[in-house]
Chains A and B, each alone.
Chain A
Amino acid sequence: MEPIKPYASVDEVRRRLAEQKYICDNNIATVVFLATQLGKPLLVEGPAGVGKTELAKVIASSTDARLIRLQCYEGLDEAKALYEWEYAKQLLYTQILKDKIGEVTQGAATLAEAVDRLTAEDDVFFSHRFILPRPLLQAIRSDDRVVLLIDEIDKADAEFEAFLLEILSDFQVTIPEIGTVSATQIPIVVLTSNNAREMSDALKRRCMHLYIDFPGKDLEHEIVRLKVPEVGSKLMAEVVGLVHALRALDLKKAPSISETLDWARALVVMNIGDLEDALVKDTLSTICKYEGDLRKAEKELSAYVQRKRADRERAESAPPPPADDKDVLH
């Protein structure tokens, strides 16, 4: 069983992800490269909205792999994550095929013989036919390349996490009715976590770990430019600057990259050219989702606008360059 090695180098990772409009720094690219090379699951942590899920999606699209997504939530169990046995279908088949079964057992001299004959066919009733594969089994059974995204693993219970361990280390599952199913190739597995709960050490040990934080100003610029090209470069600098200032504040929820993008789009739709516009205040709700945060953001915005005005006034009222002074002095 070999890992898929879709990338040849770290630079290639960067390039291919950029082609999918995902800008990342060297650290992210390196870890993605290593995880795919070593065939290890990748555990991505970080604040909400920094592009953790997106990373899995672009890995899939950049490698032409199918994305299989398992969204975790409290109470998620094997039946919903791995497979479900379709009793109803099996029962239905048995009912419909009653006659056929009669034919098979017809002419059997003893009961034992009838059972023997049935046993010979019994694989029919215990086969993949009656299994409803859920994301994990789909990923393991798949013949083509897949990226398995296990999203928000921190939302699932600790028991589910323990159950995942077997799959993540061996990429095989045991189905009592059928036997063991192993993967033909190691899929690329990406787990994301918002850190609502600390993951167990056993899980962490098996994964490569990647922590994605809010990007620096330059990187965020690049992201906004790529995703919302309609925003002028001046407005973009202002938007990114203000979002960074907001993140430095003590907010209940810091604005994420996706919210920066939403805001930029909102400004474009509203046809707002710069942050001094009175309408800007009404668009702040795209980046702040709590009443208290919104108030803080408004304060920050007005402080920013005032600062900007003061700067401009100073620039305007500053004495003209002392080109003529010489003449006056002489």
Chain B
Amino acid sequence: MERRVLDFAALLRRNGIRVSTAETLDALRAAELSGLRDRTLFKSALRATMVKRAPDVPAFDSLFDLYFSGVGDMIEEIGAESAAGMSGEELQDLLDRLARLLEDLDPPPSDLARALVTQDTASLERMMREMSQQDATSPPDSPTSVPAAVRRMMDRLGAGSLAEELDRMIEALREAGASQAEIDQLREYLDKRLQDLGKMLKRMAEMEGQKRERPEERDKEKERLLDKSFYYLSATEIRQMREAVAALARKLRNLMSIRRKHTKRGRLDVKKTIRGSLEFGGVPFRIRFENKRKERPQVVILCDVSDSVRNVSRFMLQFVHSLQDLYSRVRSYVFVAEIAEVTKLFSDNDIQTAINESINGNVVNVYAHSDFGRAFKDFHVSHLDVIDSRTTVIILGDARNNYNAPNEWVLRDIQERAKQVIWLNPENRSTWGFGDSEMSRYGPFCDVVEECRNLRQLYRVVDRMILL
């Protein structure tokens, strides 16, 4: 059992679940207590000791089934399939007869033949497992090599002489004076079992392949998403990205709570210290410090939601609104040519609904041509008063203005009032300022101008923003 638990731990590790040596030892002790007889008990024991993250539980479950019960279940299933044509009694009768026949056979049949013919699942399972352990050094790496793996396993099991042995059984039966019908029935059954063995080995090879085939896909996937440009996201990737953004936001929030704590402690508070010392007869036993009050930043986001940058806007909005409690106030605006506030959408709905509402065209016409100048001017007229000296203004857009009036003076006014202005551009930096890109006009009135083409860059920007 020890061996198998250790192997299983290695299997878990190969699949991206972290299992430490100490945990494996715990698992062994727990397995000793639970015993192997009750499978659910055994499974619970292993799960409690080896899997400590809820998201890993499904992976553990499927691997457990694959490793501990996959083979047995598979053998039984295939056996049941081929016995489907017979009633239970008939089968039992046949098996009994075969058992008697095998007793008398000289020379005695091989273990494999005996187990296969008498449908001895336990022995078959054991043999196959032993074989696959020997085989572990040369795993079938790809599905194409399954036939080769089957052949190799056949050899190792000594299945080459199996057909002969089965023939010998029939011969023995004939000598014992069985009727032709009986012999035919038996031949049919034995042929079936021989085919079953082939099936079993094939499934076994596939299962072995499965075990090895799941490397740390998930982690790699995440890494890939981080660097993938927002321009080329498929619908599924948008969904995955949403989760990635949520995870990053959570991470950031954790980090923040630590950072904030470190910056909290301020100067010695003399008044409080003296007042506290009264309790100890005037001895200042406990030194009190001022709590530095850190102002939480206010954020105003202006998001371009035209076709070309919609994806970035989507994730930026998700990011900022999932971190809402880190800011004292977040106000969001979306624009293409007209501009509209969507803050209320976010307070009334859950984040995803609000985002979809904001960018689907109900709030502003998303089929218009981008016009930053007009959007800025409108903002200046009706919303400028939301910006004060504590506000960080974030503008998200490619600054492609379709040769309209850029109205960069609005940005100048905003910068004068705001604490700072950050421009995030989802275009490659080398293309800024060419064609209808007005980045070179807007740039001078921003405190920070950043390229923001993928999640990694977005995360970095948000991270810095909070520190401000």
Contacts and interface: CB of A to CB of B under 8 A. Distances in A.
Interface in A5-42: 10, 26-27, 30-31, 33-35, 37-38, 40
B257 A74 contact: yes
Interface stretch (B15-23, B82-90, B203-211): B15-23
A60 B436 CA distance: 72
Interface string B127-150: 000000000000000000000000
Most buried by A among B47, B52, B57: B52
Nearest to B45: A34
B344 to A, nearest CB: 14
A207 B283 CA distance: 44
Given A27-B40, A209-B51, A87 B280 contact: yes
A252 B352 CA distance: 11
Contacts of A10: 34, 41
B44 A26 contact: yes
Contact of A31 (B18, B44, B285): B44
A34 B40 contact: no
Interface string A192-209: 000101110100111111
Interface in A157-211: 157-158, 195, 197-199, 201, 204-211
A59 B153 CA distance: 51
Contacts of A205: 20, 22-23, 52
Given A211-B54, A292-B350, 12 more contacts: A10-B41, A27-B40, A30-B45, A34-B45, A88-B280, A201-B20, A204-B53, A205-B20, A205-B23, A206-B22, A208-B26, A292-B348
Contacts of A87: 280, 285-286
Given A10-B41, A201-B18, A211 B57 contact: yes
A88 B48 contact: no
Contacts of A137: none
B41 A38 contact: no
A43 interface: yes
A243 to B, nearest CB: 20
A44 B418 CA distance: 47
Nearest to A201: B18
- Choose among B48, B51, B283 the residue with the greatest number of A CB atoms under 10 Å from its CB: B48
Contacts of B279: 88
B195 interface: no
B258 A158 contact: yes
Contact of B350 (A95, A157, A199, A252): A252
A208 B18 contact: no
Interface string A312-329: 000000000000000000
B20 A157 contact: no
B69 interface: no
Contacts of B254: 158, 197-198
Interface in B243-300: 250, 254, 257-258, 261, 279-281, 283, 285-286
B33 to A, nearest CB: 5
A11 to B, nearest CB: 10
Contacts of A209: 47-49, 51-52
Interface in A201-239: 201, 204-211
Contacts of A210: 48
A46 to B, nearest CB: 8
Q: Top 8 closest A-B pairs, CB basis?
A: A204-B52, A30-B44, A31-B48, A209-B52, A208-B48, A27-B44, A34-B30, A211-B54
Interface in A237-293: 250, 252, 292
A75 B262 CA distance: 12
Given A27-B40, A88-B279, A35 B54 contact: no
A157 B280 contact: no
Contacts of B380: none
B240 interface: no
A30 B281 contact: no
A45 interface: yes
23 contacts: A10-B34, A26-B44, A30-B41, A30-B44, A31-B45, A31-B47, A31-B48, A34-B33, A37-B33, A38-B26, A38-B30, A40-B26, A91-B281, A157-B257, A195-B54, A201-B52, A204-B53, A205-B22, A207-B52, A208-B30, A208-B48, A252-B350, A292-B349
Contacts of B187: none
Contact of B283 (A30, A91, A195): A91
A158 B22 CA distance: 22
Interface in B199-256: 250, 254
B61 to A, nearest CB: 11
A209 B285 CA distance: 42
Contacts of A45: 54
Contacts of B34: 10, 30, 34
Nearest to B51: A209
Interface string A86-105: 01100100010000000000
